[in-house]
Amino acid sequence: MGDRGPGWPVARPGQAVGLLGGSFDPAHGGHVHLTREAVKRFGLDRVWWLVSPGNPLKREGPAPLARRLAQARAVMDHPKVTVTDLEARLGTRYTAETLRRLNDAYPGVRFVWLMGADNLATLHRWDNWRWIMRNVPVGVLARPGQGLAARMSPAASAFRHARLSPRRSHLLPRTPTPAWCFVNMPMRGESSTAIRARGGWTR
């Protein structure tokens, strides 16, 4: 069963579990909407929010982890969704490292990495991003104004042969890797940056 400890989320072999990582500084309705759409579009049994201790690509640290977890749990109310601090428990800093550890801890679980289109546009800056694309199915959900940049990104170009048609998005968790799927949908425009800018969340 790997190195799981008390308080870790539960998943059975064969289940499809979406992973949505980020600082969630703060979590908001846009995250909730993206998650609900991911459950439907990609046929997921569960989604885990991975509230990170910090983002290696950002200079300024986020609000304290306990506060961000509390806010995330306050806004995300869905029977299939669990808000977690797994990266802090694992002691991992980069997504590829987290995914390797989760695969070891949950043998037989079909993990799907979820991201907004803005993250796909900058994925080539992530540590071991090619490993992520080669080893974990990736579900990309369009956000306002980000679709074109994402579809023309270095990651999308490098793995264009592995792109799944949106009509087959529900098959993504069970498609051999590399596999990724880009789905367009009406998205809410909230962002954590905008919420902080108008004083709705202070660090």
SS3 16: strand
CB-based contact 124:92 (threshold 8 Å): no
Give pLDDT, residue 57: 60
SS3 2: coil
Q: Which residues face 140 on adjacent strands? A: 115, 182
Q: Which residues face 135 on adjacent strands? A: none
The tens digit of pLDDT for each residue in 119-139 reads 999 999 999 999 999 999 999
Q: Residue 28 gets which letter from DSSP?
A: -
Give pLDDT, residue 189: 57
Give pLDDT, residue 203: 54
Residue 45 located in a structural domain = yes
Residue 97 located in a structural domain = yes
Flag the least confident range among 89-98, 139-148, 186-195. 186-195
Distance of alpha carbon 87 from alpha carbon 96, whole angstroms: 11
DSSP-assigned states of every residue in 66-126: HHHHHHHHHH---TTEEEE-HHHHHT--SHHHHHHHHHHHSTT-EEEEEEEHHHHHTGGGS
Domain that holds residue 56: 16-197
Residue 8 located in a structural domain = no
pLDDT at 1 over 50: no
Residue 121 located in a structural domain = yes
Residue 106 located in a structural domain = yes
CB-based contact 54:95 (threshold 8 Å): no
Residue 2 located in a structural domain = no
Rounded to the nearest integer, the mean pLDDT of the chain is: 88
Residue 10 located in a structural domain = no
pLDDT at 196 over 70: no
Which are the contacts of 96, defined by CB distance < 8 A and separation ≥ 6?
A: 126, 127, 128, 129, 131, 132
Give pLDDT, residue 54: 74
Distance of alpha carbon 106 from alpha carbon 30, whole angstroms: 28
pLDDT at 165 over 50: yes
* Cis-peptide into 26, omega within 30 deg: yes
The tens digit of pLDDT for each residue in 59-109 reads 666 888 999 999 999 999 999 999 999 999 999 989 999 999 999 999 999
Count: domains in the chain: 1
CATH assignment of the domain containing 158: 3.40.50.620
CB-based contact 21:62 (threshold 8 Å): no
- Element at 51 (helix H, strand E): strand 46-51
Q: Report the 3 state secondary structure along 153-202.
A: CHHHHHCHHHEECHHHHHHHHHCCCCCEEEECCCCCCCCHHHHHHCCCCC
Residue 129 located in a structural domain = yes
